[in-house]
Structure 1
């Protein structure tokens, strides 16, 4: 059993379904938790006591109270919604440029047939990734990268995917989230690394190499980084209270070294209390 927040919190309470935090570039980056009828400017909550209480599920597709399977979707919707087709995580599987449907060709054309960026980002180590051009620098912020640089800008997701696959043989494609959250990172010369990797790009992507650009530096609103990382999962701990000490990537960082991945809890309806 857990307490009724309406009785236990004398100040502010919000209720809504979690989705990934919205961000605005700045120094530091600005974070917002957006609910259906309200939003919270998370930066303003630093050094405040926060309670997160799990209430129920709400699938981001069907809206039903069904257990979330992945990425905010229930099991059925995860396997039929076009937003979570295999090509999302593996861009090289994109087929809209061939006029071939995966789940919804109209949707896939809208998303896949637009400029995409292959980039290098440094969050725990140098990694290669793909994002739509419109998602720069949002994608880097979500990954907790403190520096990033564009490598190529291509006209569709497929080209970005095959370029990423080629570069993964020479640089990582995963972030160590614990290292990122503890801020155990080393500055790298991403521009130099980018030029070293150019020769490994597939022939189709070579003409799209970006020769003259500079790193983007990102600064996160963190008062104190955790020394040891304890991950909060609402299914295991349906109510948690802690003092917020930082926001990095899509994580809330608390004084007791607890970290809460907001994006991993998309589709969870929560009571969010601020003392």
Structure 2
């Protein structure tokens, strides 16, 4: 079987285990169905996810020009406390920013390596947790906009990391912490304007199981620009990573906007 197309982050379906799909323009590939099979990945070129031009990808699937112009990659994406749509202030495109920022957001705790605090739109639950390779996750507060979520995350960064140790996550070295108990201890640490949302937020703990046949003991990352052709036996998927038998891991998210040819043997 052969597939060619532009890489986007894998689409997922919450199941036991999680279902993963690589979706291209004219077809799609169910990753779970090709576990334990040999896959060849060949780098063909670039295609910006924003303008569609065949220009070198700069970051997040965008070419250099689009990365610094598009509202989809403003600074408030990575730093939600910088959101200003609730004040009617534009960063790059107020209509887009209002659509994204002025909707319910979740501040959460996740176990993907250590205990991590993060922010996501409510519509992205549990997709965001799956993309991070979290084994467990729990909501702290649901707030009506991205700014409130952002200042909550900032308030908790002194207590928890906001980054995932991707090596630990892929080797399944997960901290054993009681997220429910930790959540119950956080009320006094929340910003005053957020505390009223604590009791109205769900405290359900979610467990996530990934389709992994073999976790790597030593990890090496596949760099498509340095190694434009790679072949290996697929042993698992976690987060947005493909895991191969020899310990090679391939982060699909890093290579969004890359055109590839995938051959399944």
Q: TM-score, normalised by structure 2?
A: 0.98
Partner residue, 2:255: 265
Q: Secondary structure at the match of 2:250?
A: strand
Whole-angstrom distance in 2 between the partners of 1:235 and 1:197: 44
Partner residue, 1:7: none
Quick check: 2:116–2:160 contact (8 Å CA) kept in 1? yes
Query: Aligned to 2:157, which of 139, 164, 168?
Result: 168
Query: Aligned to 1:201, which of 186, 190, 199?
Result: 190
Task: Give, in angstroms, the shift of residue 169 of structure 1.
Answer: 1.2
Is residue 95 of structure 1 aligned with residue 84 of structure 2? yes
Q: Secondary structure at the match of 2:227?
A: coil
Whole-angstrom distance in 1 between the partners of 2:191 and 2:261: 49
Counterpart mapping for 1:61-210 below 5 A: 61-210=50-199
Counterpart mapping for 1:212-223 below 5 A: 213-223=203-213
Counterpart mapping for 1:226-241 below 5 A: 226-241=216-231
Task: Give, in angstroms, the shift of residue 187 of structure 1.
Answer: 2.7
Whole-angstrom distance in 2 between the partners of 1:67 and 1:271: 17
Q: Secondary structure at the match of 1:52?
A: strand
Partner residue, 1:59: 48
Quick check: 2:115–2:175 contact (8 Å CA) kept in 1? no
Superposed CA offset, 1:76-116 (max 9, x none): 10000001000000000000000000000000000000000
Superposed CA offset, 1:104-160 (max 9, x none): 000000000000000000000001000000000000000000000000000000000
Unmatched segments (≥5 aa) in structure 1: 1-11
Whole-angstrom distance in 1 between the partners of 2:212 and 2:167: 15
Aligned length: 264
Whole-angstrom distance in 1 between the partners of 2:189 and 2:62: 37
Q: TM-score, normalised by structure 1?
A: 0.95
Is residue 45 of structure 1 aligned with residue 21 of structure 2? no
Whole-angstrom distance in 2 between the partners of 1:131 and 1:48: 34
Task: Give, in angstroms, the shift of residue 186 of structure 1.
Answer: 2.7
Whole-angstrom distance in 2 between the partners of 1:153 and 1:212: 8
Whole-angstrom distance in 1 between the partners of 2:223 and 2:186: 38
The alignment's C-alpha RMSD in Å is 0.8
Q: Secondary structure at the match of 1:165?
A: helix
Superposed CA offset, 1:139-191 (max 9, x none): 00000000000000000000000000001111111110000000011332101
Quick check: 2:139–2:202 contact (8 Å CA) kept in 1? no
Task: Give, in angstroms, the shift of residue 212 of structure 1.
Answer: 5.4
Runs of 4+ aligned residues of structure 1 deviating over 3 Å after TM superposition are none
Is residue 20 of structure 1 aligned with residue 15 of structure 2? no
Whole-angstrom distance in 1 between the partners of 2:103 and 2:141: 14
Task: Give, in angstroms, the shift of residue 214 of structure 1.
Answer: 2.2
